[in-house]
Amino acid sequence: MSTSLTSSSDPDAFCRILASSKSLGILTGAGLSAASGIETYRGVDGQWNHTNPFEVASLRAWNENPDRVWTYSHSRRDACLRASPNAAHDALATLSLLSTRKRLLPSLTDPSKPPLYITQNIDGLCRRAIDSIMKTPEAEEMDADEKKLVHERHIEMHGSMYRVVCTQCKCIKWTEENPLAPIFANDTSTRGDEKIPIDQLPRCGGSSWSGSNRYGRCGGLLRPGVVWFGEVPENQGEIIRHLTKVDVLLVIGTSSLVHPAASYAGTVKKNGGTVAVCNLGPTQIDDHADFVFHGPCEKTIPMLFKRLGQINDAQASA
């Protein structure tokens, strides 16, 4: 982004723009899950402060040291399985409901289409919040196609820690089984630098694999179904296709240091859209954003949506 704008932090001014959005996009990062107890990556309290990302989140690391990658992935996955969505996940998930969209986003070109929800997070907490809200009585007015769209327009661009991919037969499996291999049943912190033999790492067909060669049970080494540095993030075509139509982009809890997600705000600005950043503190893209709301997103997002509802209700009854 080349232009520098003077950003505003006026919630009412932003809510008026949000209320007139015809196509909303949401981009989230690790800060969204901080209040759920999941460590962010960067910053003083971040994962990369005590773990070298190139030892655990690159294809080279995987090829050289899959046990190190799995030990890291298991401990993060274990923490995420124990965590629950927080108030920011829940507030964003309400936009999956047709009734909420009609009230909060009355100008959407197609109210039956939920906002484009792109997350860099691999922790599944956004999806869990959406799944819970889709089980509430408010979701009953939505038909099967409308519910399907909610899932289609929720994109986990860096993959998911609940997905594993077999490096041999290439099968993809979604699982919340924990641990994925008996070796991780013991406290990993007590193992020190001891290497785990490759046949004790998660394998295709599970730990009781007994020699079949079948697809999905071939005994091959499983890898986490996440996107590492140097790999191409998922659904890029779809993201760019939708993003060019987005007129308001909410960028929540991301340092905006990792590409290509870091460039999405620029795409929206280039197309004349509005960008709002919600982050604990300053980020790379604040100078280019139209609105910046500093503070914990588990507070700012519910606050903005509450205000948006009040403004829309007042307008409707005027």
Annotated binding site: 166, 171, 204, 218
Rounded to whole angstroms, how far apart are CA atoms 261 and 41?
Answer: 15
207 binds Zn ion (CB under 5 A): no
Burial 63-90, CB ≥16 within 10 A → b, else e: eeebbbbbbbbbbbbbebeebebbbbbb
Using the contact rule CB under 6 A, the part of the chain among 6-14, 125-133, 138-146, 273-281 near ligand BJW is 273-281
Check 89, 154, 158, 242 and give the catalytic one. 158
Q: 233-252 mask for ligand BJW (x: CB under 6 A)? A: x--x----------------
CB of 129 to ligand BJW, least distance (A): 15
Rounded to whole angstroms, how far apart are CA atoms 261 and 157?
Answer: 9
* Closest alpha carbon to 232 in 262, 264, 259, 265: 259
Using the contact rule CB under 6 A, the part of the chain among 130-138, 179-187, 190-198, 229-237 near ligand BJW is 229-237
DSSP 3-state assignment of 127?
helix
Q: Which residue number, 72 or 205, has a Cβ lying nearer to ligand BJW? A: 72
* Closest alpha carbon to 105 in 221, 216, 26, 199: 26
Rounded to whole angstroms, how far apart are CA atoms 292 and 1?
Answer: 16
Q: Which of residues 154-173 bind ligand BJW (CB under 6 A)?
A: 158
81 binds ligand BJW (CB under 6 A): no
Q: Is 158 assigned a catalytic role? A: yes
CB of 20 to ligand BJW, least distance (A): 25
* Residue 267 near residue 240 (C-beta atoms within 8 A): yes
User: Residue numbers of the site for Zn ion (CB under 5 A)?
Assistant: 166, 168-169, 204, 218, 220
